[in-house]
Amino acid sequence: MTDRADHVDRYLALTRQTLPDIARSRDWPVVNDHCFQRIILDHIAGGVWYDHIAKPAYKNLTEDQARRATALAEDILAGTVDLWALDAQSLTFRGKTPKRRP
């Protein structure tokens, strides 16, 4: 496998399985796989991801984007980034009102 492919595989494993599996036990604003993907992709794209990355994103990420997506997913898992703030920014990119923290 290439480095890019390894990062894409890890990103998909984290966003499809790992993060959703633990989301309900943490104080997180999202629990679904597509929400984690939206947040991460919007963050690495600096806006609504599909305005910057062709669909499907996992097939069209550059090596750098795949590496950054994986790193951000790992940071979410480790609790070293504020997922509430990342979600709020993603929703703001989309013209939606961010959720309120409980």
This prediction has a pTM of 0.95
How far apart are the C-alpha atoms of 96 and 90, rounded to whole Å? 9
Predicted local confidence at residue 102, as pLDDT = 82
The pLDDT tens digits of the residues spanning 20-38 come to: 999 989 989 999 999 999 9
Is the Cα dihedral 62, 53, 10, 93 positive or negative? positive
**Residue 85 near residue 91, CB atoms below 8 Å:** no
SS3 at position 26: coil
How far apart are the C-alpha atoms of 83 and 57, rounded to whole Å? 21
